[in-house]
A = this chain, B = another copy of it.
Amino acid sequence: MSENNNAVLIGTKPVMNYVLACITFFHGGAKEVRIKARGRSISRAIDVAEVVRRRFLPDVKVKSIGIGTDQITSTEEGNQLTNVSTIEITLER
């Protein structure tokens, strides 16, 4: 994934927290905001993108969506390397 300006990293907080983060970037003059997530947070990332553009900022469009795989060291499985899927949704206005 690319550099971290205007990036919102999706974790396990409620969707609205991340929606607000995106809106704050756009209100601060950002032309693009990148929403990044991996693993089970991916569906929340899409919720965030959809809520931002459908409910709050109708002039915002999905510019691109990329998917990928990160290798992580899982401590649960005895420090084995495991794969986790990632998504990066770029919104633009």
Contacts and interface: CB of A to CB of B under 8 A. Distances in A.
Interface of A: 39-43, 46-47, 49-50, 54, 62, 65-69, 83, 85-87, 89
26 contacts: A39-B43, A40-B40, A40-B43, A41-B43, A42-B42, A42-B43, A42-B46, A43-B43, A43-B85, A46-B67, A46-B85, A46-B86, A46-B87, A47-B85, A49-B67, A50-B67, A50-B68, A50-B69, A50-B83, A50-B85, A54-B69, A62-B67, A65-B65, A65-B66, A65-B67, A67-B89
A67 B54 CA distance: 12
Nearest to A43: B42
Number of copies: 2
A42 to B, nearest CB: 4
Contacts of A86: 46
A87 B49 CA distance: 12
A74 to B, nearest CB: 15
